[in-house]
Structure 1
């Protein structure tokens, strides 16, 4: 496994996965310092903002944030323009019609393990699917891609493997007994990449997640039936 600083690993992981950990208290009423496990989504949610509002406040071009970075979480009142009594009211313009969000483009996945499903995706307490099996059972890459992370820096995920498939999709494989690939490796669909285990868990299982632009989505519709 490559030996680059642990903080860099946390920063990478936090931009790839939305952590289940809560966001730490704000530094003050208008700023927040990014902690390990934070994402734009979690910070925006905890400060009653949308992700786009948070990006606009901090002039961010994407969702990338770094541990220790200070973010504005309230508009600067000095930036607001104040109308004088003699100012004429500006005619209001109709709001443009909302643009419907496009569905996630398809990605073809194979099942990463042949065991029974222990728990399905629900979007809340479980952001993936849990697959049971025996310790040492093979774990396969659900799709071709490049290993973006291989390590155990996030305790609740145990030995964790993340494969980036393209600019939009990545898959995560948690609680492994052993990871058989390293960061930077090019992976083929169906290649064995790990062995099932119970690291970071109280039972042997594979926790499998599919992420689209960093957001967990239900992997089942994309898995070969």
Structure 2
């Protein structure tokens, strides 16, 4: 009886270890799948723009352009080879870092003032410049976690109007970015870009100027067949919470 008990305990311990290893490996797999994959280099395909590649690989547009020696208006061509991963650490002013370090107290005070000014400008921007891109309830909030969302999802009816959240210029119009369906990217300034995904119909094309509140697309469905709009705001190439910029009036959470 003692021998059988020891064997049972051994089998139990082995089974427990296997379960722990399996769960850890599956967690690592999920974590890896939700990270943005960035290749060493990318060969440009027809329909690509530098804006869409910047969006796809989560790299600041100006940094991606400078790293590859591309100047405004950031024109790229099919079969052109672009560096991707090395651009994350690229800094054209690396040799000037020592000279650019500021230790003076006045500069610290100025930085604090600029931060306060930026916060005030953000508040003004929220109140005056931004508009909700469609009518509906927010089904998914912004979350930068591993399994999170880089924007918000707004529910509605298939075919309902999608509007430009702010005046700007269309820099991408197509379906080349996996996971977004028919997508529009609008440039509002050197600082801000917005994206509108899961559309059924795109009503504007690359190079078109749009005004805030202008109808630019019709709502489509997501990968699960639910009618909704995926909306993102990126500031200096980084995803930010759209709820911080959109008017409080009109916010409805599902």
Q: In the aligned structure 2, how far is the partner of 1:72 from the partner of 1:183?
A: 25
- Whether 1:14 aligns to 2:53 is yes
8 A contact 1:170–1:212 mirrored in 2: yes
TM superposition shift of 1:219:
1.1
TM superposition shift of 1:60:
8.1
> Residues 121 and 148 of structure 1: is their aligned pair in 2 closer, same or farther, counting only changes over 3 Å?
same
Q: In the aligned structure 2, how far is the partner of 1:120 from the partner of 1:221?
A: 11
1:27-106 matches, cutoff 5 A: 37=57, 39=59, 68-69=82-83, 71=86, 96=103, 102=115, 103=118, 105-106=121-122
> Residues 219 and 151 of structure 1: is their aligned pair in 2 closer, same or farther, counting only changes over 3 Å?
same
With the length of structure 2 as denominator, give the TM-score of the two structures. Answer: 0.56
Q: The residue matched to 2:189 in structure 1 has which SS? A: coil
1:146 to 157, 169, 176: 169
Q: In the aligned structure 1, how far is the partner of 2:226 from the partner of 2:201?
A: 15
TM superposition shift of 1:202:
3.7
Q: In the aligned structure 2, how far is the partner of 1:14 from the partner of 1:202?
A: 26
With the length of structure 1 as denominator, give the TM-score of the two structures. Answer: 0.62
Q: The residue matched to 1:9 in structure 2 has which SS? A: coil
The residue that corresponds to 2:20 in the other structure is: none
8 A contact 1:147–1:163 mirrored in 2: yes
Alignment RMSD (CA, Å): 3.8
TM superposition shift of 1:136:
0.2
The residue that corresponds to 1:28 in the other structure is: none
The residue that corresponds to 1:208 in the other structure is: 231
Q: In the aligned structure 2, how far is the partner of 1:73 from the partner of 1:209?
A: 21
**How many residues matched?**
172
8 A contact 1:109–1:224 mirrored in 2: yes
- Whether 1:123 aligns to 2:150 is no
The residue that corresponds to 1:25 in the other structure is: none
The residue that corresponds to 1:113 in the other structure is: 134
Q: In the aligned structure 1, how far is the partner of 2:50 from the partner of 2:175?
A: 14
Q: The residue matched to 1:220 in structure 2 has which SS? A: helix
Structure 1, residues 151-192: CA drift from partner, whole Å, max 9, x if none?
000121000001111111111000001111111111011011
Q: In the aligned structure 1, how far is the partner of 2:167 from the partner of 2:60?
A: 28
Q: The residue matched to 1:197 in structure 2 has which SS? A: strand
Structure 1, residues 17-50: CA drift from partner, whole Å, max 9, x if none?
2x4xxxxxxxxxxxxxxxxx36369xxxxxxxxx
Q: The residue matched to 2:144 in structure 1 has which SS? A: coil
Q: In the aligned structure 2, how far is the partner of 1:39 from the partner of 1:68?
A: 13
Q: Which one has the bigger helix percentage?
A: 2
Unaligned runs of 5+ in 2: 1-43, 90-100, 249-254
TM superposition shift of 1:199:
5.3
8 A contact 2:60–2:238 mirrored in 1: no
TM superposition shift of 1:127:
0.9
The residue that corresponds to 1:174 in the other structure is: 197
Q: In the aligned structure 2, how far is the partner of 1:142 from the partner of 1:73?
A: 29
